[in-house]
Every structure is written in structure tokens, then in C-alpha cells.
């Protein structure tokens, strides 16, 4: 039921940095008339009805502005003080909550899954709890693993119930457990182990005194404490200085997360350096053993023919609950980002890239995607790999394989198709990619981009743009294909084949202006229906049977005329369906219809070739 709301005549001081849930518990027990938590929430405007199901999934994470103002008014608190009780105080600093809608449970779940913060649980400093019985917002950040005030490691599991601290009903998102009871501050409100303390209405919470939880003294380990101090300093504002520049703090946090993921994926205990607590080393060694077992499982599944197998590598970016594990890996990550500039970071992280490369082998460049390298970290990562990727001197016009005598080749970017000619690819380039999982079409795109870079001194991104390819081809496919060729030791063979093709293209008198063809067909979305019916009758097919396939056929014709990628045809790019749907339609068309239609479609495509463009 709805309750009449009045300004509280009793005010409980807020502990700086305290969570909203912690404050409500202390407020509830501090009132002259003690109230159950859910009743207090209804009286203070946080929920509309005195029922636990009224508590939203975003409780303690974000709060609607009108509820925040009402809560501040009724509790006689400053609005900024209330904002400081929410995890959203770290939005844009340590977490990105831009997609969270308090009324949308799914948006909260997605943010909790992707973010590096604990939405429904927390770590705990027993010493802090012993002083004021409060829980702090910063303990909910994955990056906060220690208390620098008391020089202890944060506790992450309750010794009595064996669960992460939190006291949240996970089936109801952010709703607290035992919200209908008079709460007690500073104790564990998780459900106890089954059968321990009653069931149903007689059930009681775990009750572990958080101030009595054992933790680890970090005073003998200044390296670990200094790591937490550096992180705390960085998280104190929207920007922080690292790698020689003032940069967004959220980027710093994301760079730390990417480095931690890389360390968890590839590093060994001896890589972590000195000055770590034995408990931290033990936590990492346990993780390392589990990781290696999972990687062996992945390799075994792939050995049986599975294209993918075992745990996803993206999982290494996930939240790590263990404070001890974070105490083991964060000092390394923080020290890497404390380099004075990107060049020095490149030098410092070379060992880590080598560790990752030992596992990813010819897919090392995909680590940037797997672990979400961005900003200066991505720049440093690319610099580490630069000796294997410099185009002009290794493969390009300044390489020893060039056959133009220093004059440049006699063709332009317009003479290069989106997809390298299939016969040239099969003859000279496909053998170089034998034994890899590089697809033919991505490889043909990248080799065409190589030809554009020989014709014009441009970047990979510009080469992709010139060919009408998406930017991801430059940042993803090009890195992958060229990295595979380099890792396999086939760079010289590739360069010889590339320059042989460029030389022969230069000597051809019948060069095709593929750019002109793409412009001429930029709005070619479907075969005109009358023409389509005529083509079908020429094969003895019933036009009604293949009604609607003239758009799919247009993609095939466009690819034939322009030597382009059918996925990028106007028929599919400008059509009403999704890319996945068009891919399936095209697959069925090629399998079921093209064998009989190809002769007439070939003739039709040739009739469309613009005069002077062939």
C-alpha cells in the first residue's frame, strides 16, 4: 500500500562514500521507531509501495532524478550527498552506465555483465566496518582490492555462508534480502547455508559480523598498497594523467582492464614481479592452473575439427571477484601504464605481447579485439608489432621486391577491384594461406588493398575507402591477414606474388575502371521485374516460382560487373532486411537457382557493362 510521507525528524549523518543500502540500514536502526528496510524505503520515496517487489533492479546503481530529490528532501540530506551513495558516482570514471534505464531490468543486467563493478555484491574492509558499520561505494569497483587507510586486503567472501557479500535477491535484481526485517548494520545479510537458520518466515540472515572477517595485512607489501593508491588517485576525477598526457579516467580504467585480461590470459607467476603477498601469488597460481586446463580443452576440441572450442577468450575481461587475484595482477598493469609515454609503454609491454602471441600465434592482432585494447594502449600494442607490419619497406614500393624501377606502377587505384580476381588469388595467394582459417573473401579484399597501396601511398583506412570497403577491413581484416602471412614466414613469397601481379597489371592495355563501374551501379538494387521474367523464361523457369529473387540476383550481377563483394551490393546494403537474412538468401540462391540461371545472368551482366569502362 502507499504510505503518507513526511520529512524525518531524525537525521543520521552520512559516512563519506557510503552506499545507499548501507545508509538505509543505519538510518533504519537509528530511528526512534525502528522500521523494516522496505518500509523505510517506501516512507522515503525510493519505492511506491511497501513491498520488496517494488524495489527496482537498479537499486544502489542509479536513481531517477525525481526519486533522488524526494529522498534527499525527506531525509534532510543534500542531493549531491545522495548522488555520492550510488554506483553512478563513478559513471564515466570507472564504469559506463550510459545504457542503464532504472525501469528496464534487461539494461541493468547488460551493464552489470559488461561493467567492471559489482552491482549486487561488494567487497569489504573489516577495519572500516568496525569503525562505523558502513559499506562504501568504492568497494563495489573491481579496481578496488585494498584499503589504504588500514593497509589490508578487502575481504570478498563471507566465511560463514561462503558467498560474496551483498545480501541481494538475485531473482529480483537489486532487491535486498530480508527487507521486511529490522536490519542490523555491519553484518552479512546473505541467506545462510541450506538448513542452517530456519526456512520460510522463520528464516534469518547469515549474520556474520563483517568487522570480524579475517583479512591480510598489506603493510609488508608497499608495492601492492602503492598500486591501490595510484588507482584511487586516478579515480578521483574525470581525467587523470598517464603516459605523458591528461586523458579520460574511464580510458585509464579500460586500459587497466585490458592489461589485466592479457595478464590473466598469457602471463606466468614469475612475470608478476616481487613484493606480492603469498596469498596473492597463490590466487594467481590457482587461476593459472585452471586457465591452462581450459586452454588445453580448447586445443583438444579444435584438434577434433571444431572451428571454435572451449571457453571464450573474452571471458578474461570479466569481473574477477578475488581481491587476492587483483592484488597479484594490478601492480603489473599499473606499472605498465605509469610509463612516461607510449613509446616506453611499448618497450615495457613487449614481454606481455610475446606471452599472448605464444598462445594466439598468427592471430596475435586479434588480441586487441579480444581484450578491448583502445587509445594509447592500442597504439603501444601496434608499435610492439610494427617491425612485423611496416608495409612500404617490407612489402610495398620501397621493398626489394618492387619491379617498377623506382618509377611506380602504371595503374591506379581505379583499376583494382574490391575482391581480387579469383583466378589470380587461387594461383598465387591462396597457397600462402594454406593451413590457416583466413577466409578467401577477406583475403581477396586485403590483397586488393595491397594493390591500392602500391598504386597510391595511402593508409590502410584510405585504401579501404577507395575500394568502397568498410573501415573494419582496414583495422581488422588487414591486420589479421598480414599478421598471419608474417607469422608463417611467408612475407617474401607474398611480396613476390604481389609485385608480379602489379607488374602484369601495369602492362595490360585493357585495364578496367572498377571505380567507374561501382559508380554506375551504385543504385542497382534489383533486376527490373520484366527483365527478370524474360531471363527466367529463357531458362524454361516459371517467373512466379522465383518471384522476389530479382533482388538477390541483382547482388550477384552487381558483383559480377564490378568484381565487388556481393555483401556490399546496393541490393543488400539498401534493402529492408538484415545482413544475416540476405546472406542466407544469397547462399540458397547460389545453391538452388544459380546453376540453371548462371548462363543467362552472365550474358545479362555483360550487356550492362558501361561503354568505356571495360
User: Predicted confidence band at 305 (pLDDT cuts at 50, 70, 90)?
Assistant: low
Q: Is-contact 154 215, C-beta < 8 A?
A: yes
C-alpha cell at 275: 613484493
Is there a single domain that holds both residue 454 and residue 535?
no
Mean pLDDT for the stretch of residues 179-201:
72
* Single pTM value for the model: 0.65
Residue 3 lies in a domain: no
Which H helix or E strand runs over 99?
none
* Model confidence at 455: pLDDT above 50: yes
Residue 614 lies in a domain: no
Mean pLDDT for the stretch of residues 476-494:
81
- Predicted pLDDT of residue 199: 55
* DSSP per-residue string spanning 372-396: T--HHHHHHHHHHHGGGT-HHHHTS
User: Predicted confidence band at 173 (pLDDT cuts at 50, 70, 90)?
Assistant: very low
Mean pLDDT for the stretch of residues 404-418:
90
Q: Which of 206 and 284 is assigned the larger pLDDT?
A: 284
**Domains: count for the chain:** 4
How far is Cα 500 from Cα 71, in angstroms, rounded to an integer? 74
Q: Which of 178 and 541 is assigned the larger pLDDT?
A: 541
Find, among 131, 196, 168, the residue nearest to 21 by Cα.
168
Is there a single domain that holds both residue 160 and residue 37?
yes
Q: Is-contact 254 234, C-beta < 8 A?
A: no
Other Cβ atoms less than 10 A from the Cβ of 154: the count is 26
Is there a single domain that holds both residue 504 and residue 522?
no
Q: Which of 532 and 563 is assigned the larger pLDDT?
A: 563
- Predicted pLDDT of residue 170: 44
C-alpha cell at 548: 522476389
Is there a single domain that holds both residue 567 and residue 583?
yes
Residue 100 lies in a domain: yes
User: Predicted confidence band at 613 (pLDDT cuts at 50, 70, 90)?
Assistant: very low
Write the DSSP symbol of residue 152.
E
Mean pLDDT for the stretch of residues 392-418:
85
Mean pLDDT for the stretch of residues 264-290:
94
Which H helix or E strand runs over 606?
helix 594-608
Q: What is the mean pLDDT of the chain?
A: 86
* Model confidence at 111: pLDDT above 70: yes
User: Predicted confidence band at 478 (pLDDT cuts at 50, 70, 90)?
Assistant: confident
Q: Phi/psi at 603 (nearest 5 deg)?
A: -65, -40
Which residue blocks in 96-182 are alpha helix, DSSP H?
Answer: 105-114, 126-132
Other Cβ atoms less than 10 A from the Cβ of 542: the count is 10
What are the Cα distances from residue 292, in Å, to 201, 264, 265, 269, 363?
46, 11, 9, 13, 19
Q: 51: exposed, middle or buried (C-beta count within 10 Å: 0-12, 13-18, 19+)? A: middle
Q: Is-contact 555 566, C-beta < 8 A?
A: yes
The region of weakest confidence among 186-195, 434-443, 518-527 is: 186-195
* Model confidence at 614: pLDDT above 50: no
Given 467, 487, 511, which residue is the final one in a domain?
511
**CATH number of the domain within which 436 lies:** 1.10.1750
For 336-374, the pLDDT digits (tens) are 999 999 888 988 998 898 888 888 777 788 888 889 999
Residue 13 lies in a domain: no
Residue 53 lies in a domain: yes
- Predicted pLDDT of residue 204: 76
Is there a single domain that holds both residue 191 and residue 60?
yes
User: Predicted confidence band at 530 (pLDDT cuts at 50, 70, 90)?
Assistant: confident
Is there a single domain that holds both residue 263 and residue 405?
no
Query: What's the 3-state SS for 184-253?
Result: CCCECCCCCCCCCCCCHHHCCCCCCEHHHCCCCECCCCHHHHHHHHHHHHHCCCCEEEECCEEEEHHHHH
Given 465, 489, 511, which residue is the final one in a domain?
511
- Predicted pLDDT of residue 496: 93
Is there a single domain that holds both residue 439 and residue 457?
yes
Which H helix or E strand runs over 492?
helix 491-507
Residue 464 lies in a domain: yes
Given 384, 404, 437, which residue is the final one in a domain?
384
How far is Cα 599 from Cα 593, in angstroms, rounded to an integer? 12
Mean pLDDT for the stretch of residues 250-256:
97
Find, among 268, 472, 469, 438, the residue nearest to 363 by Cα.
438
Is there a single domain that holds both residue 396 and residue 349?
no
Is there a single domain that holds both residue 536 and residue 482?
no
- Predicted pLDDT of residue 298: 74
Is there a single domain that holds both residue 67 and residue 135?
yes
How far is Cα 484 from Cα 482, in angstroms, rounded to an integer? 5
How far is Cα 380 from Cα 267, in angstroms, rounded to an integer? 18
Write the DSSP symbol of residue 266.
H
Q: Which of 575 and 328 is assigned the larger pLDDT?
A: 328
Q: Which of 48 and 547 is assigned the larger pLDDT?
A: 48
Is there a single domain that holds both residue 286 and residue 367?
yes
Residue 395 lies in a domain: yes
Domain that holds residue 184: 20-212
Share of the chain above pLDDT 70, in %: 89
* Model confidence at 141: pLDDT above 90: yes
C-alpha cell at 53: 517487489
Residue 147 lies in a domain: yes
* Model confidence at 168: pLDDT above 60: no
Is there a single domain that holds both residue 256 and residue 333?
yes
For 534-573, the pLDDT digits (tens) are 888 777 776 666 556 888 888 999 999 999 999 999 888 8
- Predicted pLDDT of residue 3: 58
Mean pLDDT for the stretch of residues 329-338:
98
Amino acid at each position: 500500500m502507499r504510505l503518507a510521507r513526511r520529512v524525518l525528524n531524525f537525521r543520521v549523518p552520512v559516512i563519506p562514500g557510503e552506499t545507499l543500502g548501507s545508509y538505509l540500514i543505519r538510518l533504519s536502526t537509528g530511528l526512534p521507531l525502528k522500521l523494516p528496510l522496505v518500509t523505510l524505503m517506501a516512507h522515503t520515496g525510493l519505492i511506491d509501495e511497501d513491498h520488496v517487489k517494488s524495489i527496482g533492479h537498479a537499486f544502489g546503481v542509479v536513481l531517477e532524478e525525481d526519486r533522488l530529490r524526494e529522498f534527499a528532501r525527506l531525509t534532510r540530506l543534500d542531493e549531491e550527498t545522495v548522488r555520492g551513495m550510488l554506483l553512478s558516482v563513478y559513471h564515466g570514471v570507472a564504469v559506463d552506465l550510459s545504457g542503464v534505464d532504472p525501469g528496464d531490468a534487461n539494461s541493468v543486467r547488460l551493464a552489470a555483465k559488461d561493467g567492471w563493478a559489482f552491482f549486487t555484491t561488494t567487497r569489504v574492509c573489516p577495519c572500516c566496518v568496525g569503525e562505523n558499520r558502513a559499506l562504501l561505494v568504492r568497494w563495489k569497483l573491481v579496481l578496488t582490492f585494498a584499503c589504504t587507510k588500514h593497509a589490508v586486503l578487502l575481504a570478498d567472501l563471507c566465511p560463514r555462508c561462503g558467498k560474496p557479500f551483498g545480501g541481494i535477491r538475485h531473482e529480483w535484481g537489486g532487491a535486498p534480502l530480508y527487507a521486511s526485517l529490522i536490519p542490523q548494520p555491519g553484518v552479512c545479510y546473505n541467506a545462510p547455508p541450506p538448513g542452517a537458520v530456519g526456512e520460510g518466515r522463520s528464516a534469518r540472515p547469515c549474520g556474520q559480523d563483517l568487522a570480524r572477517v579475517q583479512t591480510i595485512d598489506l603493510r609488508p607489501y608497499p608495492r601492492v598498497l602503492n598500486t591501490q593508491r595510484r588507482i584511487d588517485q586516478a579515480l578521483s576525477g574525470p581525467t587523470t594523467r598517464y603516459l605523458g598526457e591528461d586523458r579520460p579516467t574511464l580510458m585509464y580504467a579500460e586500459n587497466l582492464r585490458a592489461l589485466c585480461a592479457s595478464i590473466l590470459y598469457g602471463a606466468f607467476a614469475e612475470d608478476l614481479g616481487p613484493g606480492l603477498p603469498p596469498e596473492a601469488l597463490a590466487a594467481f597460481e590457482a587461476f593459472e592452473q585452471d586457465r591452462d586446463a581450459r586452454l588445453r580443452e580448447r586445443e583438444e576440441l579444435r584438434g577434433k575439427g571444431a572451428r571454435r572450442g572451449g571457453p571464450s577468450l573474452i571471458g578474461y575481461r570479466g569481473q574477477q571477484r578475488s581481491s587476492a587475484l587483483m592484488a597479484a595482477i594490478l601492480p603489473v598493469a599499473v606499472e605498465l601504464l605509469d610509463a612516461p609515454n607510449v613509446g616506453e609503454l611499448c618497450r615495457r609491454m613487449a614481454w606481455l605481447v610475446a606471452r599472448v602471441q605464444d598462445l594466439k600465434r598468427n592471430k596475435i592482432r586479434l588480441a586487441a579485439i579480444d581484450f578491448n585494447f583502445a587509445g594509447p594502449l592500442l597504439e603501444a600494442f601496434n608499435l610492439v608489432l610494427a617491425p612485423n607490419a611496416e608495409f612500404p619497406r617490407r612489402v610495398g614500393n620501397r621493398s626489394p621486391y618492387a619491379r617498377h624501377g623506382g618509377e611506380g606502377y602504371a595503374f591506379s587505384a581505379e583499376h583494382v577491384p574490391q575482391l581480387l580476381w579469383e583466378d589470380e588469388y587461387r594461383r598465387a595467394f591462396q597457397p600462402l594461406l594454406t593451413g590457416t582459417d583466413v577466409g578467401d573473401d577477406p583475403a581477396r579484399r586485403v590483397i586488393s588493398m595491397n594493390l591500392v597501396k602500391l598504386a597510391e601511398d595511402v593508409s590502410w583506412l584510405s585504401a579501404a575507402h577507395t575500394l568502397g570497403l568498410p573501415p573494419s577491413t582496414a583495422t581488422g581484416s588487414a591486420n589479421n591477414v598480414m599478421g598471419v602471412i608474417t607469422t608463417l614466414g611467408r612475407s617474401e613469397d607474398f611480396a613476390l606474388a604481389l609485385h608480379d601481379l602489379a607488374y602484369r597489371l601495369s602492362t595490360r592495355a585493357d585495364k578496367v575502371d572498377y571505380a567507374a563501374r561501382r559508380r554506375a551501379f551504385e543504385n542497382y538494387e534489383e533486376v527490373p521485374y520484366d527483365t527478370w521474367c524474360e531471363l527466367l523464361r529463357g531458362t524454361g523457369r516459371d517467373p512466379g516460382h522465383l518471384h522476389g529473387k530479382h533482388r538477390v540476383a541483382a547482388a550477384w550481377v552487381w558483383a559480377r560487373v564490378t568484381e565487388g563483394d556481393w555483401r556490399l551490393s546496393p541490393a543488400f546494403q539498401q534493402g529492408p532486411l538484415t545482413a544475416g537474412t540476405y546472406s542466407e538468401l544469397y547462399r540458397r540462391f547460389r545453391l538452388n537457382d544459380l546453376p540453371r540461371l548462371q548462363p543467362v545472368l552472365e550474358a545479362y551482366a555483360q550487356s550492362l557493362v558501361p561503354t568505356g569502362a571495360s
